[in-house]
Amino acid sequence: MVLTKETPGSAAEAETQAVGNVVLAVDALTKRYGSLVAVDGISFQVRRGETFGILGPNGAGKTTTLEMIEGLRRPDGGRITLLDLDAVRRRRAVQHRIGVQLQSQALWPELTVEETLKTFRALFRRKLPVETMLERFSLGDKRRSLVRDLSGGQKQRLSVATAMVNDPEVVFLDEPTTGLDPQARRSFWDLIHDMSGEGKTVIVTTHYMEEAEALCERVAIMDRGRIMAMDSPRELVRGLDFDNTVECTFAGSVERELLLALPAVHDVKKENGAHFLFTTNVSATLAGLMGLTDGGGERVQSLQVRTATLEDVFISLTGRRLRD
């Protein structure tokens, strides 16, 4: 499932569209932990109503970036303008108008669903009725259940409900589907579509490229504290110099030069014993690969052909896979 509400003609055009309707502007944002640069001077903008993804492996700096925007960590450099306010200096004013779901489902196990919502409502000036939240997140029949007795999916819904209790203009979701089973993940995606349908700006981090493709109008690919590329998922994939990826493993070792010389192969990356051949012509490459084996070369152990995805964008940018 690939969802794109709007496909900008080019990245440059997207930038011009953004002006005047920017909800979040991050400029040269930096965070260091000792000698480690966790976030290395990144800049990006998010438009009102947009669903924006930050895609990257663990440790890329996604969470640190969100935490600085949400007011949980102080940046070491750069500026964050959120809802036309300086997000660092006007932290609390901003926090009244945003909703945040952190990586861990931070809920009190001793409270009931209803008590949890009431507690979070108490923290905000603007707030929606508890009944509305219970109904919207299908928690009505669980209102008197203790959080510790809820299922994983119910906890997840409650956790999002606590983030939406102040009817926020911008919603931040930090790896919201990590640890969820595929079905719960799908229904969570529906929740995000609903938010987006209400006109909320959604900013989501993930290390699942399917998720970024399914949810986000634009994606920033982040690695080692830097943004490597930023565009709509479709444009990012189209921007690759190849159409397909042939992933294969061999019984023994094979020279990279040999693979690079195969027909239509644009580039070769090796990761964890697997070779990734980026090709503009699958059949030509496969024929070449078979010929290589027939000619007394190493035997192919496994072979997988797929259309290029965001994962390949990441691999071609970094030489590594998103997930280890």
Partner 1 sequence: MNFRGFLQLVSSQGTILRRNTGFWVTSIMTAVLSMAVFGWLFNPDTQPFDLALVDEDRSQASRTLVEAFEGIDSVETREGSRDGELASLQDGDLGAVVIVPEGFAADLGRGSVTLPVYYDNSNPVRIGYVTTTVNAVVDSYNDQVVGQSSAVTVQQRSVSTKNVRFIDFLTPGMVGMTIMWVNLGVGFLLVTWREQGILRRLGVTPLRPGSLIASQAVSFSIVSLTQVTVVLLMGHFVFGVDIHGSFLWLAITVFLGVMAMLSIGYVVASLLKTVTSVNAVINLVAFPMMFLGGSYFPLDPPPALKPVIEAIPLTHLNDALREIVNHGGGLGDLWLSWLILAAWIVGGFGLSMRLFRWQ
Which residues bind to partner 1, rule: CB under 8 A?
70-72, 92-93, 95-96, 98, 100, 102-111, 115, 118-125, 146, 162
SS3 170: strand
**Helix 152-164 × helix 182-197 angle, to 10°:** 20
Q: C-beta of 158: minimal distance to partner 1 in Å?
A: 12
Q: How far is CA 301 from the centre of its chain?
A: 32
Q: C-beta of 21: minimal distance to partner 1 in Å?
A: 25
Q: C-beta of 288: minimal distance to partner 1 in Å?
A: 52
How far is it between the farthest Cα atoms of the chain? 74
List, in sequence order, every residue forming a beta bridge with 14; answer none if it has no partner. Answer: none
Sheet holding 170-174, edge to edge: 98-101, 170-174, 201-206, 51-55, 218-223, 226-231
Q: C-beta of 72: minimal distance to partner 1 in Å?
A: 5
* Closer residue to partner 1 in complex, CB, 81/309: 81
* Closer residue to partner 1 in complex, CB, 80/98: 98
Q: C-beta of 213: minimal distance to partner 1 in Å?
A: 27
Q: List, in sequence order, every beta strand (DSSP E) within the chain.
A: 22-33, 36-47, 51-55, 77-82, 85-86, 98-101, 170-174, 201-206, 218-223, 226-231, 244-250, 265-271, 274-279, 300-307
Q: C-beta of 37: minimal distance to partner 1 in Å?
A: 20
> How many CB atoms are closer than 10 A to CB 188?
20
CA–CA separation, 21 and 243 (whole Å): 34
Q: C-beta of 295: minimal distance to partner 1 in Å?
A: 57
Segment 253-257 long-range contacts (CB within 8 Å, at least 24 positions apart): 253/298, 254/297, 254/298
Tokens matching residue 302? 């496994």
Q: List, in sequence order, every beta strand (DSSP E) within 109-256.
A: 170-174, 201-206, 218-223, 226-231, 244-250
